[in-house]
Amino acid sequence: MLRLWKWYQNSLAVHPVKTQIISSGLIWGVGDIAAQTITQATAKKQNGVQDEEKEVRINWKRVATTSLFGFGFVGPVGHLWYEGLDKYIRVRRGLQPNSFWFVANKVAIDGFLFGPLDLLVFFTYMGFSTGKSFPHIKEDVKRDFLPAFILEGGIWPFVQIANFRFIPVRYQLLYVNFFCLLDSCFLSWLEQQQDAPWKQWIKSLICSKDK
């Protein structure tokens, strides 16, 4: 593991964008395998399937699709985002690195700008990749976006506080990608829930506050 880590550090120093792209694609692929395993096991348990029938079948096309999301969006965009965000907070805002307001500004901007964008791109991309029509994708986004944003909003700020306070900028995307292993499982589970009552409750609660 130590040799692998040193190889990663060297690759990141020489080819930062390429390394972030490859590592993001691989991690998101592994995350989708874990997500499929968990969601299939959960679904079979809910449907009362017997143990001998609980063979997990991995959809490798979906794994490839999810990996492409890591390769094509998370890797390059995430690299530019964390590098650009750090430069903006340090240079344009003039805040002292690792200070309270330095970390707070990063967490707030990341949570309210990049977080929603990432969710929107993910749901839209996964919809198109499975052959859904635009109206269908629009309905899926309306159904899943707010519950995902609210639930993740209770977790990701704490993840990012540690990230922006203790992790060097060049490793921040790698740190986030490992948490995306868990996030991938959550998003797959969320999609599986369809129009679950708790989703309807969250949407109705938000709508009632808007009135």
148-175: per-residue pLDDT in tens? 888 888 889 999 999 999 999 999 999 9
Whole-prediction pTM: 0.83
Helix (H, G, I), strand (E, B) or coil at 133: coil
Question: Mean pLDDT, the chain, as a whole number?
Answer: 86
Residue type at 29?
G
Residue type at 25?
G
Pair 13, 167: CB distance under 8 Å: no
Residue 56 DSSP code = -
Residue type at 167?
I
185/198 Cα distance (integer angstroms): 18
